[in-house]
Structure formats: structure tokens, C-alpha cells
Amino acid sequence: GDSVTQMEGPVTLSEEAFLTINCTYTATGYPSLFWYVQYPGEGLQLLLKATKADDKGSNKGFEATYRKETTSFHLEKGSVQVSDSAVYFCALSESGGSNYKLTFGKGTLLTVNP
Amino acid sequence: NAGVTQTPKFQVLKTGQSMTLQCAQDMNHEYMSWYRQDPGMGLRLIHYSVGAGITDQGEVPNGYNVSRSTTEDFPLRLLSAAPSQTSVYFCASSYADHRAAYNEQFFGPGTRLTVL
């Protein structure tokens, strides 16, 4: 079945540091890939997405590129802020009939210190 | 537009008690689902529904029941609570358009459940 493996945390960075959170996936077909973010005490919200190979998703300074050859979707940000402290989840959905079902990675807790 | 709402926000149960976690959405979404979130385990799918009268099991369905009598509501029932069901529960909804490249899921704020 489908699976998502992401970098285990926690990750602790200083403000303005560079962030990478690795994510690799296993899926049949051509999945769509997502990063969701969960701020403390809240539900998840979509951060960015990519629906086909070589697509780059971006939002709020975060970026991730859909790499089919390495089955990866690594999250990056050039300069993190304290407000980026959250749990980040990589996820995928299959194309076609069940494209609403998500498979999640285990999440990576990011803490950014001032 | 309230989005996805969940009640209660917090709940403490004793082993063997039953309860229902409520979930409602006002976006006319066909797909609704329940996840549990446990430390180190990510989100695991409990049950899901693709429309009124249609439900199916996810990855961890044991000990939980669901029904979908309306498009808006998707309650999750714990029949006889166990300490292993201590978790944070999230409800989510989305369209179920299989022609779309993706269907964005919207999450509720969660219910933190403790079973003693």
C-alpha cells in the first residue's frame, strides 16, 4: 500500500536558519503530494501541494518540489521564523477514484528559537 | 462559513463508558473522515464516508462506529471506551471529485479524549 516516510524530529533551529524536512513516498500510479502544518492546539491546514512530477508547491516562504525519480517531496524554507514552530506532515493522495483519501507521514515537530 | 466543527473540545471518560464525538461541516463536502493522532504515529484513519448512507473502515476502525445520515454530520461513537483510545481525534472533510487533481481536506480543531 501507499506510505509516506518523513524525517523524524524534533527539529530545533534558530530564527533565520535554513530548514529542510525530508519526505519520501511509496505509491502506485501518480499521487498528489502535500505538506500540512499543525500549529499548537489547532487542526491541520494545507501548507502547499504538487500534483505532478517536477511541480513546485510554495506558500509562506516554504517550497517543495515533486521529484518522481527519487520519490521525494522535501520541504524547505530559507529563513525560518518563531511563528513557523509547528508540526509538519507530509501526505499523499492517489489519483483517480479515491483521490480524496490521504496517507500521512508521522509528522515532524519544528521549534524555532529567537 | 464555520468550516469543520467538532465537539467537545476535551473529554474525560472512564473505561467502559460510551460517548459520541460530533463533527459537522457546512461546505457541502461529500467526503468526511475521522483520524486519531498519537505521539510518534502521525494521523491514522479510523472511518470515512463518501456520502450520506455510505461509510467504510480505515486503518484503525476497531472500537469505533460511525454513521452518515446527512451530508453535514459524521459522528464517531466509542461503544466501550478503553485507555488505548486516549488520543486526539480530528474530523476532516473535502469534495470527492475524482476528476480533480486533488481534493483539499479541511480539518476540525480536534477533540482531546482521555480514558482513565
Q: Is the pLDDT of residue A97 over 70?
A: no
pLDDT band for position A78 (cuts 50, 70, 90): very high
pLDDT at B74 over 70: yes
Three-state DSSP class for B58? coil
Mutant choice from A3, A49, A100 vs B, greatest count of B C-beta within 10 A: A100
Model confidence at A96, pLDDT cuts 50, 70, 90, reads low
Q: Check residue B7 and give its pLDDT.
A: 96
Of A18, A11, A30, the residue nearest A107 (C-alpha) = A11
CB < 8 Å to B92, chain A = 43-44
From the CA of B35, how many Å to the nearest CA of chain A?
11
At residue A28, does pLDDT exceed 90? no
Model confidence pLDDT, tens digit, residues A39-54? 998 899 999 999 999 9
| Segment 38-67 of chain A within 8 Å of chain B by CB | 41-46, 49, 51-52
Rounded to the nearest integer, the mean pLDDT of chain B is: 94
- A106 and B40 in contact by Cβ < 8 A? yes
Residues of A in contact with B60 (CB under 8 A): none
Residue of B49, B44, B75, B48 lying closest to B60 (CA atoms) = B44
